[in-house]
Structure 1
Amino acid sequence: MRFRTVLSLIGFAVVALQPAAAQEREWHSTASLIGESKYGDDFERYDYVNPDAPKGGTFNATTSGSFDSFNPYIIRGTPAAGFARFGGGLLYDTLMEQATDEPSTSHALVAEAYSNPDDYSSATYRLNPKARWHDGEPITAEDVVWSFNVLKENSQLYNRYYENVTEAVAVNDHEVEFTFNETGNRELPHIMGDLVVLPKHWWEGTDADGNPRDVTEPTLEPPLGSGPYRIKSFNAGSEIIWERVDDYWGKDVPVKVGRENFDIRRYVYFRDRNSEWEAFKKGGLEDIRSELRSQYWAEGYDFPAFQEGKVVRKTFPTKSPEPMQGFTMNMRRDKFKDRRVRMALTYLFDFETMNRTRLYGLRTRTDSYFVGDELASSGVPEGRELEILEEYRDQLPPELFTEEFTLPDYSERGAQRANQRKAFELFRQAGWVSRDGKLVNETTGEPFTVEYLGSSPTDEIIAGLFVEDMRKLGIDASIRIVDQAQEINRLQNFDFDMTTVILAQSLSPGNEQRDFWSSTAADQPDSRNYSGIKDPVVDALVDRVIFAKDREELIATTHALDRVLLWGYYYIPQFYSPEVWLAWWDKFGMPDKQPSYIGADIDSWWIVPEKEAALATNGGGQ
């Protein structure tokens, strides 16, 4: 499934001052960093859901690769489908839940409300007294404190995300205060809502054999949870089945009303994505397909079930920011450290030909790390953005201030030869020359090699033409396709030359930018600084984004960060589609409208028993 992740959350509380200048705590259950939520603190349910949606039926899904763990919050192990490395997945609830229909907004879940002082030096969350684990035990402030400490110590992602959170203290059984080591970060009090809450009493207990559990190790013992689903059964590495918790404590919480309606969620693993596609066409193993492959969307939907009306498809436009998808070059390898080399490789990527011949003209070129919204830089820097960049002028390319950043264009006749000449000249300036048709280091004679790492046939489609064009310049370029588990392991340990990376952005960038670009993250396994960027200007701009005092400053600073990243040529931008392509076996009911922000909320759909039975009888979804 395709889910858009918005890592930056929610808004800020207004702290009222009493005449005596003492602060009176003001609690909020809904907040937004961009204006006010359309629901406010009186939020009862999403306006698009069917509050009377029937429960029942089986939702079948497929995924590729394998799994060997039910503990997603450590580096070791591959978590099973339904778990999430960030967030709660199907099993756990978070303090608050990100909105499906508004940007940078969240609503209460385990925490019924939160508050913070006007200097953003701390945040206090008040827990919902109804919140329960699946064993009936209450979720307590002690669970929250324990979860924070465990996650920050063992999850690289949470450690970087909550870098400025110094302490979590249980004020009482239902209130937790988080203290920060800096003031002025207006996002930080609210992204604490992303914190997943884990059951301390279960993890510190013993298993059926009397062995103590260890939250720092992988496990295939189904953990105790608090969320809408629990593990029903599994076959290690090949299948996991989740069942809806009928007495789930949060089913009447506003973010859950009319949602999570399937009784059973079944995930079956396949070797590769081609096998998943064949399983979808056959029916019974994958009910809903989020189509990512242009070839299939353009000409693949001609199989019998689609022609007979058993499978339907629809395009759902979205208003959320598009992810940054691009080839990333691993600068931990010496050959990619020279900016001119990265720029030369950028000039060799022929997007226009690839889009026309392999993507059926269905994609749009990515030209920003914050594509598709007001945060994307354009033109030449001016106004507040220019003022910010002037502080770092002597550390930046001079052309950044005078030229609009543009990507090479292959649409005109003769463009390929011109772009290849430009690339060759950049390589020559960086010390690489042509000898006997091979691009080699002028001093050592070492050939310039690039191995592209992927895990599916789609990777071969995306990288294929690019590899051919690199070879034309004498580069020893190749594609290496590995299984998904090996790819994950190699990415976590930065063991690659070049690969395709997708980074989700939001309309309110914040702490997650450290994980994407900071010098600290570059040296930490499992970070998302895949390129290994270590640039003091980038570090400074990331901090300025995080500590922007208002929306205007955030936009200007993000423009500056975007521009510096682009002129650094750390990624070779690929493409995006401003819509979600969904196809499904006709067994579902759904609300009359879907949230335009994310395109489609599958959790608001439900199964129509008569349709499900008909498909099971006639062949198809079961």
Structure 2
Amino acid sequence: MTDFLKNGFLFISLIYSVSACANPADKNSTIAHGLSFHNSLLYPENFTHFSYANPNAPKGGSLRKGVVGSFDTFNTFAPKGIWADGSYFLYDPLMVKAGDEPYSVYGLIARQIEYPEDFRWVTYHLNPHARFHDGHAITSEDVVYTFQSLKKRGPPHYRHLYGIIDNVEALSPTSVRFSFSEPPAKSLILRLSQLRVLPAHYWQQPERDLFKATLKPPLSSGPYRIKEFSPGRFVTYERVTDYWAADLAVNKGRHNFDLIRTDYYRDDGIALEAFKKGEYDLRIDANPRSWSQAYKPTQTGKAKFIQEKIDNKSLGMRAFVFNLRKPVFARRKVRKAISQALDFNWMNQHLFFGMYYQAYSLFSNSDLAADKPPSNKEKALLAPWQDELPDMLFTARWEPVQTDGSGNWRNNKTRALQWLKEAGYRYKNKTLVDPHGQPLKFEILLTDPEHERFVIPFVRNLSELGIAASINTVDASRYINRIRTFDFDMIIHGFYPGITPGTELKNFWGSASADSDAGQNLSGIKLDSLDRMIDNAIMATTREELTIYTRAIDRIVLWHYAVIPQWYLPYWPMVYWPGLQHPELAPPFDNGLSTWWREY
């Protein structure tokens, strides 16, 4: 912990430009046009556009997308319901996250941010031209209403995120101040800066409930609004031609399509065939079989589609997730033994066409990963919790299960059987049973039938150990409801924190989230050491400090065998019809679709 934190201060690397005409409300405060987690902002105060956006991109035409599933609400603040694709972006935020910086935000509704040296408060100065789609000005009262509503009645992660903000007040129609009860983390200020502002005059009407799932198109403020939809079948958004922020630097060259339509399909096979028939324009296709076989050139050698791997620096992984709330997974040796049955190399060669990279960390594809044995600093950091952590954590790096890809996993099987024996299991009629004679069995809950093809080999290997694992594939609605109530044994889930992770670590792995209704700690892992490392990571003030804590988090979760990492992709697998264009420079921390356009 740095001296700044010991003294009760937050040192935050905010690189800013002070406006010559600005008059800070506090003589010791600074007015900034952007915030950065790191040492410098890429863009100065007078920048004209993000470098990955083409300011001369033509406006017009349409973008048609396809997704699998359904939807039953446009209200992304409701704790229940399945959001329509694109509905998250109906509301503009205070500030916009740049796609080519690890963690920096720039002004949108808030044109400037003001803060004192000790960060006891932060004030957002709103753009006086900011408007909702009905012409009402976006004011500080709307910001106050949004914050207070989400903190009081919003989904649990809002209460966790905003817990140390003890007051918000409108200083004027265009200035709103947030005060903190303790020194705030960098990530909290940056996340707060991305607060989507709601229209108080709309949601305060007695017939409306901000936290109720509804298909009534809401009054919004973003670059697009809902034009038409059919529940569960499609939704079309139209570009707002008089959008107040169209010419701001953060939007120049973005939001170029007049119409964006998303069609919904029952499964990915049907969606793929619809794409090949031209029913929609673009797929992000991480299905190895489709990527390798579905888009081959015609007999004349002419490619019908454009396939492109767009490199990214996003981090994370997909994994099998144990629900540690279930007694069957109470013992670490059992979880460790089960992990041995995942033969990634065989699956990658025989099922995935070599497309995937084996995940080795919660932060795969990043410098935050614990890809080496622990340093002396990490050992000292974790020493107070040595009793609740395995000895191997202090001497070696955690590594995923290795095989030669032949399908022969005899050595791993032998180790797994030994750990199961040590956990108290024995064979009875070719089935593993515990000391009470209860068989070792569990269900793997899926929502995508395509996933069955690689889960089946995993289940087959488990059966060789005497473990009865079953597969249950349900529709999206049932799946979401079961996940929200933690009604599962094992699932497949993607963990993709921001490139500079903060409060999402608490959501993914924190004890409070494990106990919350609809919490995001799906595994249910609860360890004091993990909670402390998460708190430290959230309060980190430099990349070096953050890295020490994320590597400790990585080791704790993986050596605890709360998950079985599967794979990651260091690129966006884009497939699209000719006519769509994008800038040559792609943002490394975003898929960049907001910068695409149609060329005629």
TM, length-normalised to structure 1: 0.90
Spell out the pairing of 1:566-585 with structure 2 (5 A cutoff): 566-585=558-577
Q: Matched residue of 1:313: which SS?
A: strand
Q: Matched residue of 1:42: which SS?
A: coil
How far, CA to CA, are the matches of 1:561 and 1:488 in structure 2? Answer: 27
Is it true that 1:477 corresponds to 2:473 in the alignment?
Answer: no
Check whether the contact 2:507–2:520 (CA below 8 A) recurs between aligned residues: yes
Aligned to 1:51: 55
Aligned to 2:4: none
How far has the Cα of 1:421 moved from its partner?
Answer: 1.4
1:565 maps to amino acid? V
**Distance 1:186-1:380 versus aligned 2 partners, 3 A rule:** same
Q: Matched residue of 2:39: which SS?
A: coil
How far has the Cα of 1:305 moved from its partner?
Answer: 11
Give the alignment partner of residue 585 of structure 2, picking from 581, 593, 596.
593
Aligned to 2:295: 301
**Distance 1:265-1:11 versus aligned 2 partners, 3 A rule:** farther
**Distance 1:242-1:346 versus aligned 2 partners, 3 A rule:** same
**Distance 1:281-1:303 versus aligned 2 partners, 3 A rule:** farther
**Distance 1:364-1:589 versus aligned 2 partners, 3 A rule:** closer
1:226 maps to amino acid? S
How far, CA to CA, are the matches of 2:17 and 2:326 in structure 1? Answer: 50
Aligned to 1:607: 598
Aligned to 1:145: 144
- Residue-by-residue CA offset, 1:240-291 (whole Å, 9 max, x unaligned): 111110000110111110111111111111111111111111112x201111
Deviates more, 1:303-312 or 1:91-100: 303-312
**Distance 1:287-1:305 versus aligned 2 partners, 3 A rule:** farther
Aligned to 2:6: none
**Distance 1:510-1:592 versus aligned 2 partners, 3 A rule:** closer
How far has the Cα of 1:414 moved from its partner?
Answer: 9.0
How far has the Cα of 1:149 moved from its partner?
Answer: 1.4
Is it true that 1:514 corresponds to 2:506 in the alignment?
Answer: yes
How far has the Cα of 1:504 moved from its partner?
Answer: 1.1
Give the alignment partner of residue 218 of structure 1, picking from 213, 216, 221.
213
How far has the Cα of 1:303 moved from its partner?
Answer: 6.9
How far has the Cα of 1:377 moved from its partner?
Answer: 1.1
Give the alignment partner of residue 249 of structure 1, picking from 244, 248, 254.
244
How far has the Cα of 1:398 moved from its partner?
Answer: 1.4
Is it true that 1:492 corresponds to 2:496 in the alignment?
Answer: no
How far, CA to CA, are the matches of 2:67 and 2:331 in structure 1? Answer: 38
How far, CA to CA, are the matches of 2:487 and 2:411 in structure 1? Answer: 33
**Distance 1:77-1:601 versus aligned 2 partners, 3 A rule:** same
2:524 maps to amino acid? G
Give the alignment partner of residue 468 of structure 1, picking from 451, 455, 460.
460
Check whether the contact 1:15–1:116 (CA below 8 A) recurs between aligned residues: no
Deviates more, 1:541-550 or 1:300-309: 300-309
How far, CA to CA, are the matches of 2:541 and 2:514 in structure 1? Answer: 27
Is it true that 1:377 corresponds to 2:370 in the alignment?
Answer: yes
Aligned to 2:310: 316
Q: Matched residue of 1:501: which SS?
A: strand
Q: Matched residue of 1:225: which SS?
A: coil
Check whether the contact 1:15–1:118 (CA below 8 A) recurs between aligned residues: no
How far, CA to CA, are the matches of 1:56 and 1:104 in structure 2? Answer: 31
Give the alignment partner of residue 539 of structure 1, picking from 502, 517, 531.
531
Aligned to 1:562: 554
How far has the Cα of 1:167 moved from its partner?
Answer: 2.4
Aligned to 1:166: 166
**Distance 1:447-1:218 versus aligned 2 partners, 3 A rule:** same
How far, CA to CA, are the matches of 2:329 and 2:379 in structure 1? Answer: 29
Is it true that 1:440 corresponds to 2:433 in the alignment?
Answer: yes
**Distance 1:165-1:526 versus aligned 2 partners, 3 A rule:** same
Check whether the contact 1:258–1:604 (CA below 8 A) recurs between aligned residues: yes
Task: Quote the RMSD (CA, aligned, Å).
Answer: 2.1
Aligned to 2:323: 330
- Residue-by-residue CA offset, 1:547-585 (whole Å, 9 max, x unaligned): 224332222122111111111111100011211111111
1:225 maps to amino acid? S
How far, CA to CA, are the matches of 2:438 and 2:181 in structure 1? Answer: 49
Q: Matched residue of 2:147: which SS?
A: helix
How far, CA to CA, are the matches of 1:346 and 1:144 in structure 2? Answer: 47
How far has the Cα of 1:186 moved from its partner?
Answer: 3.0
Q: Matched residue of 1:328: which SS?
A: strand
Spell out the pairing of 1:275-286 with structure 2 (5 A cutoff): 275-284=270-279, 286=280
Q: Matched residue of 2:99: which SS?
A: coil
**Distance 1:181-1:363 versus aligned 2 partners, 3 A rule:** same
How far has the Cα of 1:161 moved from its partner?
Answer: 2.3
Check whether the contact 1:244–1:264 (CA below 8 A) recurs between aligned residues: yes
**Distance 1:458-1:227 versus aligned 2 partners, 3 A rule:** same
Check whether the contact 1:66–1:237 (CA below 8 A) recurs between aligned residues: yes
How far, CA to CA, are the matches of 1:162 and 1:262 in structure 2? Answer: 35
- Residue-by-residue CA offset, 1:371-409 (whole Å, 9 max, x unaligned): 122211133222322221122222211121122322221
How far has the Cα of 1:354 moved from its partner?
Answer: 0.8
2:169 maps to amino acid? V
**Distance 1:381-1:496 versus aligned 2 partners, 3 A rule:** same
How far has the Cα of 1:336 moved from its partner?
Answer: 1.0
Moved over 6 A (4+): none
Deviates more, 1:113-122 or 1:368-377: 113-122
Q: Matched residue of 2:576: which SS?
A: strand
How far, CA to CA, are the matches of 1:158 and 1:57 in structure 2? Answer: 37
Deviates more, 1:470-479 or 1:176-185: 176-185
Aligned to 2:77: 73
1:566 maps to amino acid? L
1:47 maps to amino acid? S
Give the alignment partner of residue 235 of structure 1, picking from 215, 230, 233.
230
Spell out the pairing of 1:34-45 with structure 2 (5 A cutoff): 34-45=38-49
Is it true that 1:266 corresponds to 2:257 in the alignment?
Answer: no
How far, CA to CA, are the matches of 2:118 and 2:92 in structure 1? Answer: 28
How far has the Cα of 1:455 moved from its partner?
Answer: 1.4
2:120 maps to amino acid? S
Q: Matched residue of 1:566: which SS?
A: helix
How far, CA to CA, are the matches of 1:536 and 1:401 in structure 2? Answer: 17
Check whether the contact 1:347–1:420 (CA below 8 A) recurs between aligned residues: yes
TM, length-normalised to structure 2: 0.93
Check whether the contact 1:341–1:426 (CA below 8 A) recurs between aligned residues: yes
Aligned to 1:390: 383
2:507 maps to amino acid? D
Aligned to 2:120: 121
Aligned to 1:290: 284
How far, CA to CA, are the matches of 1:77 and 1:470 in structure 2? Answer: 35
Count of residue correspondences: 581
**Distance 1:411-1:197 versus aligned 2 partners, 3 A rule:** same
**Distance 1:13-1:592 versus aligned 2 partners, 3 A rule:** closer
How far, CA to CA, are the matches of 1:420 and 1:129 in structure 2? Answer: 66
How far, CA to CA, are the matches of 2:517 and 2:127 in structure 1? Answer: 36
How far, CA to CA, are the matches of 1:268 and 1:538 in structure 2? Answer: 41
Identity fraction in percent: 36
Check whether the contact 1:329–1:570 (CA below 8 A) recurs between aligned residues: yes
Deviates more, 1:100-109 or 1:225-234: 100-109
How far has the Cα of 1:304 moved from its partner?
Answer: 5.2
**Distance 1:523-1:217 versus aligned 2 partners, 3 A rule:** same
List runs of 5+ in structure 1 lacking aligned partners.
1-9, 17-21, 207-211, 611-622
Check whether the contact 2:497–2:505 (CA below 8 A) recurs between aligned residues: no
Check whether the contact 2:14–2:38 (CA below 8 A) recurs between aligned residues: no
How far, CA to CA, are the matches of 1:222 and 1:379 in structure 2? Answer: 50
Aligned to 2:94: 95
**Distance 1:592-1:542 versus aligned 2 partners, 3 A rule:** closer
Is it true that 1:420 corresponds to 2:377 in the alignment?
Answer: no
How far, CA to CA, are the matches of 1:254 and 1:11 in structure 2? Answer: 22
Deviates more, 1:134-143 or 1:214-223: 214-223
Give the alignment partner of residue 344 of structure 2, picking from 331, 346, 351.
351
Check whether the contact 2:523–2:562 (CA below 8 A) recurs between aligned residues: yes
- Residue-by-residue CA offset, 1:199-250 (whole Å, 9 max, x unaligned): 11011126xxxxx111121112110000001111111221111111000011
**Distance 1:378-1:26 versus aligned 2 partners, 3 A rule:** same
How far, CA to CA, are the matches of 2:507 and 2:17 in structure 1? Answer: 31
